Amino acid sequence: MIPLRTSHVVFYAAVVTVTVTLAVVFGFWFIRQQMLTGNDFLLDAESKEILARVAEIPPPIDAGKVEAALREHTEYDEALFYFQVHEPAGKVIYHSPNLGELALTDLTGGLDKRTLKIPPFGLLRVAEYHTPTVHVQIAMSLRNFQSINDSFVRVFLIGVPLIAILCIGFGTALRDSTLRPVRLMQAAARRISASNLSERIVVAPGGGEMAALAALLNEMIERLEKSFNHAKRFTADVSHELMTPLAIIRLHTERLLNDPEMPAKYHQAIEEQLQETLHLADTLERLLMLARADSSALSLKLQTSSTNDFMGQFAEDAQLLAESRGLKVVLAQNDVGNATFDQGWLRQVLFNLLSNALRFSPPNGTITFYSKCGGGEWTVEVRDEGEGVPSERLNEIFERFVQITPRSNPGAGAGLGLAICKSIIELHKGRIAAQNRKDHSGLAVAFSILLEG
């Protein structure tokens, strides 16, 4: 589909070009008709003198009498006119000396005035007048008319493309000035996000449709901000209020498990209760963290650190976790570089990614980490050997509570791990993305933040 800004310019240029072209063509046609009308007037005026002289010739009319009657006059006017007299049957009995051996086309039975091209004279306007005895033809050169016609064609062939180019230029300038408020709205809309709902579109002074649209969009954004803030406060408040009861439930559950008088038949049920309580507490803790990240209340202790040292230390811890599950962690690439980041939160991101990879990797599988420095960015990529993610769901996995595995699966989480990773990376002004591996089955998740220097 052609973009709106392009279609407007094309439409404007086409309308103006066609309008100007039609106006010029009509103007030329009108001038042409006026010139022909002027020539016809001169031919009619000349014919009166010639017909008067022919009428004085006594019958029978022959070539000698016609020549005697017309020679003096035709020689006098031969600078402007060509003369020819023929019988009704078509036999030429006189033509003026300036015609030489050429003869004018007989117009008998057709129009009494026609424009003919007769070499070597070029265009001639020929008129034929009938008397009872002879037909008189008078012709007039249209060299000036032809010159004007040729000049018009040249100007037309050069002018129309020039007009089209000028129209495109003016149309582009008009488009830019007209759509500038829209572009400003687009730029403001791009800056608005869940963490920046306070941004507003600048309302142009003076009113108008664009100002009204900007005001309407600002009202909508304000309503969204209020709703979003209410949702964030609700999530934070509920999570906070539930933490204390859950802690109490956990303490009582652990006490029951440690009570030697607890009947054995209840032991498994209480263990499951404890596991679910711990899972719920972990989910609430994650929700609280996301709420703080959304409200920009999550503080970062940024410091410039060595990326290869940081990844080397993490790889040692990751290997211990993987070995306990019969898996292997490999740091395949660890470039030297320096970046500014919060080591604690970035370790949280890496452990979340590692936890997902451990959950979905097959027995004896390998989880590979790559730490690359280049192009002004530090990129960390984690590859597992699981089944990957359906391609149509790759963009969903960073949303909250999105799970690829069924919730009934024992290894299924709450669907918050990758959402937390995304929030932490975005607080570092970075980006995170996932794609299915092409060299092997599995998923590859990578995040990037800026390098120092």
318 and 437 inside one domain: yes
Range with lowest mean pLDDT among 223-237, 379-393, 418-432: 223-237
> Is there a domain that residue 181 lies in?
no
Q: Which residues contact 96 (CB under 8 A, 6 or more apart)?
A: 70, 74, 75, 78, 81, 82, 83, 84
> Which residue in the block uniquely carries the two structure tokens 């010739």?
57
87 and 226 inside one domain: no
268 and 313 inside one domain: no
Whichever domain contains 56, its CATH number is 3.30.450
Query: What average pLDDT does this structure show over 61-84?
Result: 86
Nearest to 137 by CA among 192, 74, 202: 74
Tokens of 116: 């003919």
85, 67 in Cβ contact below 8 A? no
What is the reported pLDDT for 408? 47
285 and 331 inside one domain: no
Final residue in a domain of this structure, among 294, 319, 337: 294
State which amino acid sits at residue 72.
E
> Which residue in the block uniquely carries the two structure tokens 């803790």?
285
Tens-place pLDDT, residues 87-115:
888 888 998 888 888 888 888 877 788 88
Whichever domain contains 321, its CATH number is 3.30.565.10
Query: What average pLDDT does this structure show over 206-216?
Result: 75
State which amino acid sits at residue 441.
S
Q: Which of 109-118, 162-171, 426-435 has the highest mean pLDDT?
A: 426-435
Q: Which of 136-150, 219-233, 359-373, 399-413 has the highest mean pLDDT?
A: 359-373
- Binning pLDDT at 50, 70 and 90, where does residue 400 land? confident
> Which residue in the block uniquely carries the two structure tokens 């007039």?
140
What is the reported pLDDT for 180? 75
256 and 319 inside one domain: no
Q: Which residues contact 140 (CB under 8 A, 6 or more apart)?
A: 39, 42, 43, 80, 81, 82, 124, 125
Residues of the domain holding 131: 4-149
307 and 445 inside one domain: yes
Q: Which of 51-55, 169-173, 242-246, 264-268 has the highest mean pLDDT?
A: 51-55
105 and 229 inside one domain: no
- Across 90-129, b (16+ Cβ under 10 Å) vs e yields eebbbbbebbeeeebebbeeeeebeeeebeebebbbbbbb
Alpha carbon separation from 159 to 12, 152, 162, 394 (Å, rounded): 17, 10, 5, 55
Count: domains in the chain: 3
Nearest to 144 by CA among 115, 123, 126: 123
SS3 of 333, please?
Answer: strand
Give the separation between CA 24 and CA 26, rounded to whole angstroms. 5
Counting Cβ atoms within 10 Å, is residue 434 exposed (0-12), middle (13-18) or buried (19+)? buried
Percent of the chain with pLDDT strictly greater than 70: 86
Q: Which of 74-78, 82-86, 193-197, 407-411 has the highest mean pLDDT?
A: 82-86
Q: What is the DSSP letter of 106?
A: P
In DSSP terms, 373 is beta-bridged to 378
229 and 365 inside one domain: no
21 and 62 inside one domain: yes
Whichever domain contains 225, its CATH number is 1.10.287.130
What is the reported pLDDT for 366? 93
